């Protein structure tokens, strides 16, 4: 599939089967994240793959206040934790008052999700989770920035036409 088709097909999946995701598929997606551009090539993130009982515990940590009930069936999560900048990116961030880590994490997660789609997997980027529970579960003090649900979409999961703003509302030429 070409890149434009990939952009059109990829959507957030909220109905997964419990079928395991192969290690090869997970590694393929992680490699895409690793190759994402980042400020000064710092790659300021740490990716934690969670399956089995750990995935069940991650799912529970994403379900507060009635949110993300679908995660109970997700067989694999990639927890994305923030890591330190390299020296050059740290200096640039301070001098320019920019948080490059958030951008870098977003790029890596975007590429991971696109590769999941290419492999026939569903994905959903989650920003709603109990960070303290995840840190305790995963034995880390790093900030948890995102959790990516990864798995096989349930039979007939709808592929809808994307609802996006028109370019005219997003772009201006000067």
Q: What is the pLDDT of residues 144-169, one digit of tens each?
A: 999 999 999 999 886 777 789 999 99
pLDDT of amino acid 10: 92
d(CA 42, CA 90): 9
pLDDT of amino acid 145: 98
pLDDT (tens digit per residue) in 83-126: 999 999 999 999 999 999 999 999 999 999 999 999 999 999 99
pLDDT of amino acid 1: 77
Confidence check: pLDDT of 16 > 80 = yes
Number of domains in the chain: 1
Range of the domain at 23: 3-170
pLDDT of amino acid 156: 82
pLDDT of amino acid 169: 97
CATH number at residue 68: 3.40.109.10
Mean pLDDT in the chain? 95
pLDDT of amino acid 161: 77
pLDDT of amino acid 167: 95
Q: What is the mean pLDDT of residues 50-67?
A: 97
d(CA 59, CA 79): 11
Between the CA of residue 42 and those of 38, 51, 103, 113, what are the distances in Å? 6, 27, 12, 21
Kindly report the three-state secondary structure assignment for every residue of 64-86. Answer: HHHCCHHHHHCCEEEEEEECCCC
The proportion of the chain whose per-residue pLDDT surpasses 70, expressed as a percent, equals: 99
pLDDT category at 54 given cuts 50, 70, 90 is: very high
């Amino acid at each position: 599939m070409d890149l434009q088709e990939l952009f059109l097909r990829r959507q957030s999946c909220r109905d997964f089967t419990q079928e395991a995701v192969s290690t090869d598929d997970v590694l393929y997606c992680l490699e895409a994240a690793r190759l994402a551009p980042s400020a000064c090539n710092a790659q300021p993130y740490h990716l934690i793959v969670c399956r089995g009982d750990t995935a069940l515990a991650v799912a529970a940590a994403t379900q507060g206040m009635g949110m993300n009930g679908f995660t109970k069936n997700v067989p694999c999560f990639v927890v994305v934790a923030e890591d330190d900048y390299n020296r050059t990116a740290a200096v640039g961030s301070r001098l320019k008052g920019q948080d490059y880590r958030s951008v870098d994490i977003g790029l890596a997660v975007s590429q991971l999700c696109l590769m999941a789609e290419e492999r026939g997997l569903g994905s959903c980027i989650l920003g709603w989770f109990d960070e303290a529970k995840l840190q305790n579960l995963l034995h880390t003090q790093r900030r948890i920035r995102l959790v990516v649900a990864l798995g096989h979409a349930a039979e007939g999961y709808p592929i809808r036409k994307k609802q996006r703003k028109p370019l005219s509302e997003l772009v201006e030429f000067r």
